[in-house]
Amino acid sequence: MLQALVSTASQLLEDLNRSLLRSRAFASRSQQVPPSAPHYQPLERIRLSDGVGHTLFEEYASHRAEARGEEETGWLLMGLREASEAHVLATLPAGAERDASVAHVQFNSSGQALGSRIVRQTDKRLTILGVVHTHPGSLRHPSDGDYRGDSQWVRHLRGREGIFAIGTADGKGQPPSLFAEQPRPHVQCLGEMCLSWYSLREGDAKYRPLPVGLTLGPDLARPLHSVWGAIEAHADRLDRLCRQQAGVTFEVVPGEHRPWLAVNIPLAEPGDALRVALTEKEVHYFLLRGGELLAADCLDERVDRGIYLLLAELAAQS
Amino acid sequence: MDFRPLNDTERRQLIGALRGNAESDRAILMDRRDTSFAGTAEEVTDEEVIFAVKSVPCHY
């Protein structure tokens, strides 16, 4: 099938090349071809879902109250990139395994990679939009060091442009504040916490203030934040499993004391599946067969290895 | 194995996908189950997203 597609594609590519040589004819034909994706313009503004706004301010406040509260922290932003605006719909936390100090933060990318896979289960249009990170002082603008990295990184983003926000705790408002304010189009403040939003496009010499607005909507990744320890602990093995096995899905399920990360691996029979429930330190395996959930006698803490041992056991029984 | 000519809509979509690939480096998607053409639309490949995540620079 792929060979047939490639053959057909080659023929169509030849057609396309021929058509490019005939500009007038091309102009009339191109109107019939639906655009495959928007032609990206520089971002004019961004919209945050109110869920994302809540996450950023609430988790920034929580971070400041923690033992590592003096360190910088941050979030990776996911959402939809449109022609000249972007919608921020999910936040991936820096993670407990981040490398951070009062002067830098490097996110735990393994956890965020798995988190992005889980968030994108329901909508493959979701992409990486940018980064929020905090500064300990009152510098509400990305630093020169930020620019050196970001100016290279944005080439990997849609539209070759990224969204960057700086969190500071230097606002004039005093906590507790009843509601957030927006003293400037690119600045949001809640109490003493402020987020200042910028964009940077490939080739730009400096960041550009980016007007930000709010709209109703979820933080699609927020349920994952409650199981982020499990995501970080098993990220590499689960990410490898996703690349090896089609149809692997994830969900957050309530537990007696705390939520679990559940992994579902479909089996050949419709409805049958292997199911794994994970916390940071615990791994429990189950077999869903014929509508009945059976606990599997597997103690392997390496989740990918445990799953393949069970698959081998099931294959031997069939 | 199912071989059949593309209909007009599929043909237009594939031309659009090839144009996007040639002009803007946009990915052409393939269904991992049967290798059929899965469009481009506004969907983003896992590989593109994971690469962007893994290459986030340190922030200061």
Q: Given the structure tokens 């706004």, which residue do they identify? A: A53
Domain assignments of chain A as residue spans, ordered by start: 2-31+226-317, 45-220
**Residue pLDDT tens, chain A, 318 long:** 444 444 444 454 444 344 333 333 333 333 333 334 557 899 999 999 999 999 999 999 999 999 999 999 999 999 999 889 999 999 999 999 999 999 999 999 999 999 999 999 988 889 999 999 999 989 999 999 999 999 999 999 999 999 999 999 998 766 677 899 999 999 999 999 999 999 999 999 999 999 999 999 999 999 999 999 999 999 999 999 999 998 899 999 998 889 999 999 999 898 999 999 999 999 999 999 999 999 999 889 999 999 999 999 999 987
Tokens at residue A305, please? 């290895």
B1-48 confidence digits (pLDDT tens): 567 787 777 787 788 788 877 776 777 777 777 777 766 656 788 999
Whole-number pLDDT of residue A205: 97
**A112 contacts B36? CB cut-off 8 A:** no
For B6, the closest of A8, A157, A239 (CB atoms) is A8
The Cα of B15 is separated from the nearest Cα of chain A by a number of Å equal to 7
Whole-number pLDDT of residue A165: 98
Whole-number pLDDT of residue A103: 96
Query: Strands A187-190 and A181-184: what pairing?
Result: antiparallel
Rounded (10°) angle between helices A2-21 and A23-30: 130
User: How many A-B residue pairs are in contact by the CB < 8 A criterion?
Assistant: 131
Dihedrals phi, psi of A258, to nearest 5 degrees: -160, 160
Which of A93, A210, A86 minimizes the C-alpha distance to A142? A210
**A116 contacts B50? CB cut-off 8 A:** yes
Whole-number pLDDT of residue B16: 76
* B25 inside 8 A of chain A by CB: no
Give the gyration radius of chain B's Cα atoms: 15
* B30 inside 8 A of chain A by CB: yes
**B15 contacts A33? CB cut-off 8 A:** yes
How close are the terminal C-alpha atoms of chain B, in Å?
Answer: 54
Whole-number pLDDT of residue A22: 37
Distance CA(A53)–CA(A188), nearest Å, equals 9
**CB proximity list for A100: less than 8 A, separation 6 or greater:** A68, A71, A72, A73, A94, A106
For B43, the closest of A33, A124, A143 (CB atoms) is A124
Whole-number pLDDT of residue B2: 66
DSSP character string of A144-194? HHHHHHHHHHGGGSGGGEEEEEEEES--S--SS-SS-EEEETTEEEETTEE
**B30 contacts A127? CB cut-off 8 A:** no
Whole-number pLDDT of residue B42: 67
**B15 contacts A104? CB cut-off 8 A:** no
**CB proximity list for A226: less than 8 A, separation 6 or greater:** A252, A258, A259
For A1, the closest of B1, B28, B53 (CB atoms) is B1
Task: Quickly name the fold that domain A45-220 has.
Answer: Cytidine Deaminase; domain 2 (3.40.140)
**Beta partners for residue A91, in sequence order:** A77
Global ipTM: 0.84
Whole-number pLDDT of residue A26: 32
**B55 contacts A104? CB cut-off 8 A:** no
Tokens at residue A292, please? 């009945």
Whole-number pLDDT of residue A38: 58
For B56, the closest of A33, A99, A131 (CB atoms) is A131
The number of residues in chain A equals 318
